Structure 1
Amino acid sequence: MFSKTRLARLHDVMSRHVESGAIPGAVTMVSRRGEVHVDVVGAQAYDGAPLRRDSLFRISSMTKPITAVAALTLVEECVLRLDDPLDDVLPELADRRVLRDVAGPLDDTVPARRPITLRDLLTFRMGFGMLPESSPLQAAAMERSVAVGPPNPAEYPAPDEWLRRLGELPLAYQPGERWLYHTGADVLGVLLERVCGKPLDDVLGERVFGRLDMRDTGFYTSDVDRLVTAYGPDDSVFDEPSGQWSKRPPFLSGGGGLLSTVDDLSAFAHALLGGGGEVLSRRMVELMTTDQLTPEQKALSGFFPGYFDNRGWGFGVGVVTRRDGIARTPGQFGWDGGLGTSWWADPKEELTAVLLTQRAGFPDQNPVVSDFWTTVYQAVV
């Protein structure tokens, strides 16, 4: 269970961050063995209305695990297979060319050694993703609106056009060679639309949200009174409640487009912690949350050198592999959102926790995120 005295620190620490102006507000939920604690502090915007338990947050990259779960339901139904080529469904990505040098010219390429598979998309080993900022490939990706960056739904073209533009570019690396963040999840969203013959929000609604009673999760909302203001790391406004997420975007991003609430995300985390709930089998959840990266791939990959020393990547989720901090348990899985959100589940401690704030920052360098997880784990008894 939790120590009540120590759990009070979670409220105190989050309140301190609000009072200092580091964040406008925070909604937190911690749950262990049937004991659930929800706390709401601060406002929906600086000088805005009070934050609510059902306030809507842009969860950005926390969209990725949800899209992955929907894809894995199709694997369990034998509609998709992990290692089959995707050329028939995604012909834009067939017969790939691969750069000889990621920093080199776009026409200096070799043939891909094999096709892209579903496993490649789920593990971010398709050969395309977050790239060196100064490379010609990154410049070409930005030109075509297929580069990795903060979620901006209105700036993306419709799915077929987005994939066509992506298909114009060579891969940065051979399929399966290394982990490159993000793009695999957006391609996965397009794949789900084509395989299921319906928009991604309908696919996720039928395969995930409806089964887990996630009533408030979606790619846009008309209920803007509940939508928080999103801020950049420098406190500049990134998106207003009446902004990009207030209307249906042309591209539903499987990598970063969803809005959600603390209760919906807790339902998702609990389903995976409990072995899949009404969505996946226990064995599939075990596979999804097992580190899929080889030591060789980890040595070449990550957001910074040494990033994978204490973690790995499963199917759409991060996985902790080594205890080097109070809030890291081997086997723990989950993911964060760059706009100020975080959720993880810990099978050993039978614990899940969710943090929702509205100020962007890289999670590993965000004191609010770090302090949240420290206070969650110091309260465990």
Structure 2
Amino acid sequence: MSGGFSAPRLGLIHEGMSARVESGEVAGLVALAARGSDVHVEALGMSDLAAGAKMSRDTIFRIASMTKPITAVAAMILVEETRLRLDEPVTRLLPELADRKVLRSLNSEPDDTVPANRPITLRDLLTFTFGFGATMSPPGTYPIQKRVADAGLGPGPNPSPLSPDDWIERFAGLPLMHQPGERWMYHTGSDVLAVLIARAAEMPFDQFLAERIFTPLGMKDTGFAIPDAKRARLARCYERDEDGKLKVSPMGLDAVNSAGSTGLLSTADDYLAFARMLLGNGRLGKTRILSRPSVELMTMDHLTPAQKALSPFAPGFWDLNGWGFGVSVVTRRNGLGPMPGSYGWDGGFGTSWRNDPPEAMTSIFLSQRMMQSPDDLAIATDFLTLAYQAIDD
């Protein structure tokens, strides 16, 4: 598909997103839509209200869970090199996770367990089906939630300050919540992946990402820490108070450690390079990161209907989506786009990315307002609608 965007219709993106900034819904945003050689970017509002700093195309954002797809790509690099294998037990490199215990039921006390039916595999981690993750319930609903919180391992937008070895040792002291392969549970699989990747690569996780993904793709502003020289470009993070007004979020701290699930900082153009590499079946220009078969495997739905039925998430999510390796995958069209076969993911600090292979299109939305409910994705969804209405063929 060779078409781009209609210039007059791109004006609707500016109008629609400007209105959301002017209403005070977000302090500012960067919205990018790319199709072929046609790249449209809106940088609107402020990156820091108190400092009076304007949002710009090269503003640096905390991308939170948009880290997860990058972690999955890192794992697949090692699969291609046969340093990791999809269906091999992870205990070869993570002996801490041998002989797992599993809660008798989610309502059980943390010490009321049964043996795991089988070992955890890399495929389980990539598809979030290894038996542990966010319960999608208020704190205190299940006894295991307190044990997880006490261990400092609760899901959240900021990475753990623990070293990888300390993290996996502490995690190994917890039971799984469900049997491996039984159901999908969000988040924690990517953190286990980061430790596994570091051991397979025999180097720190952040170094592996820099050497094998960021540097080859020219992602010069992406990493888990921000140099002092770039700090002025880091957007301030906000959340809404009881009246819906923006206030500085205490959660929006700088990343303090590398993690597979969250913590990366990036820009719209850096993430576009990563997205276009995947849209190019693993290659950006002359640089190949993955093979086409790996990208195809990553971006197909790996969950069965039975797994989805057992896996609570946002209302209606599984009606339209499945899960690949670190990305959601669109299974049914429900609007102007994305099309079935599209994939991507969102971040808890107000970020979102989708690749749409049928339309040869990438969309990236970046703001810095903490997600406090599923409704907070509405502004990114509206941007998607505005991007798709601008398609010109």
Same fold by TM-score, threshold 0.5 exceeded? yes
Indicate the SS of the match to 2:30: strand
Instruction: Summarize the alignment of residues 61-100 of structure 1 with structure 2, pairs less than 5 Å apart.
Output: 61-100=65-104
Corresponding residue for 1:41? 44
Match of 2:344 in 1: 334
Structure 1 position 254 matched with structure 2 position 257: no
Structure 1 residues 269 and 45, CA, compared in 2 at 3 Å: closer, same or farther? same
Task: Verify: 1:378 aligned to 2:384, yes or no.
Answer: no
Question: What corresponds to 1:355 in structure 2?
Answer: 365
Assess if the C-alpha contact under 8 Å between 1:185 and 1:254 holds in 2: yes
Residues 222-237 of structure 1: pairs in structure 2 closer than 5 A: 222=227, 223-234=230-241, 235-237=246-248
CA shift at 1:306, angstroms?
3.5
Residues 39 and 240 of structure 1: CA distance in aligned 2, closer, same or farther (over 3 Å): same
Task: Output the CA distance in 2 between the equivalents of 1:304 and 1:260.
Answer: 26
2-structure distance, mates of 1:81, 1:187:
15
What whole-Å deviation, never above 9, does each CA across 1:148-193 have from its counterpart, x for those lacking one? 1232x3x532111111111111000001111100000011011111
Which residue of structure 2 lines up, in the alignment, with residue 24 of structure 1?
27
For the 8 Å contact 1:28–1:38, the answer to whether it is kept is yes
User: Percent identity over the alignment?
Assistant: 52
Counterpart contact for 2:353–2:363, Cα < 8 Å = yes
| Residue 283 of structure 2 corresponds to residue 273 of structure 1 | no
Instruction: Name the TM-score, length of structure 1 as normaliser.
Output: 0.95
> 8 Å contact 1:229–1:239 — kept in the other structure?
no
Q: Per-residue deviation at 1:210?
A: 1.5
Partner residue, 1:145: 152
Equivalent residue of 2:53, what SS?
Answer: coil
1:173 lines up with 2:178 in the alignment: yes
Report the AA paired with residue 343 of structure 1: W
Native 8 Å contact 1:336 1:363 kept in 2: no
Task: Measure how far apart 1:218 and its partner are.
Answer: 0.2
Counterpart CA distance in 2 for 1:198 and 1:106 is 34
Residues 273-292 of structure 1, C-alpha deviations (whole Å, 9 max, x = no match): 11101110011101100000
Cross-structure match for 1:183: 188
Q: Which moved more, 1:78-87 or 1:45-54?
A: 45-54
- Alignment partners' CA distance in 2, 1:291 and 1:109: 31
CA contact (8 A) 1:99 1:173 kept: yes
What is the identity, as a one-letter code, of the residue corresponding to 1:166? F
Q: Letter of the aligned partner of 1:135 in structure 2?
A: Y
Matched positions, count: 374
Q: Distance in 2 between matches of 1:236 and 1:158?
A: 31
Query: What TM-score do you get using the length of structure 2 for normalisation?
Result: 0.92
- Aligned-pair distance for 1:5? 1.6
- RMSD (Å) for aligned C-alpha atoms: 1.5
Equivalent position to 1:12, from 4, 15, 18? 15
2:158 is the counterpart of 1:160: no
Shift of 1:239: 4.9
State which of 114, 117, 129 in structure 2 corresponds to 1:113: 117
Contact kept, 8 Å, 2:157 with 2:251, in 1: the verdict is no
Q: Matched residues in 1 for 2:93 and 2:168: separation?
A: 12
| CA distance, structure 2, for counterparts of residue 224 and residue 38 of structure 1 | 22
1:302 and 1:348 mapped to 2: Cα distance? 29
2:96 alignment partner, SS class: helix
2:155–2:188 Cα contact (<8 Å) kept? yes
Q: For residues 174-226 of structure 1, give each alpha carbon's deviation from its aligned partner in whole angstroms, at most 9, with x where no partner exists.
A: 01111100000011011111111221110101111122111110001022101
- List runs of 5+ in structure 2 lacking aligned partners: none
> CA separation of 1:156/1:233 partners in 2, compared to 1, >3 Å: closer, same or farther?
farther
**Structure 1 stretch 131-140 or stretch 347-356: which is displaced more?**
131-140
SS of match in other structure, 1:291: coil
Q: Provide the C-alpha distance between the structure 1 equivalents of 2:180 and 2:216, rounded to a whole number of angstroms.
A: 33
Structure 1 contact 323–329 (Cα < 8 Å) conserved: yes
Query: Shift of residue 240 of structure 1?
Result: 8.9
Structure 2 CA distance for aligned equivalents of residues 363 and 305 of structure 1: 9
Find the aligned partners of 2:116 and 2:240 in 1 and give their Cα distance. 38
Return the alpha-carbon distance in structure 2 between the equivalents of residues 14 and 321 of structure 1.
Answer: 27
- Displacement of 1:347: 0.5
Query: Is the Cα–Cα contact under 8 Å of residues 93 and 199 in structure 2 kept in the other structure?
Result: yes
Q: What letter is aligned with 1:158?
A: S
**Residue pair 1:68, 1:316 contacting (<8 A) in 2 also:** yes
**Unaligned ranges ≥5, structure 1:** none
Counterpart in the other structure of 1:298: 308
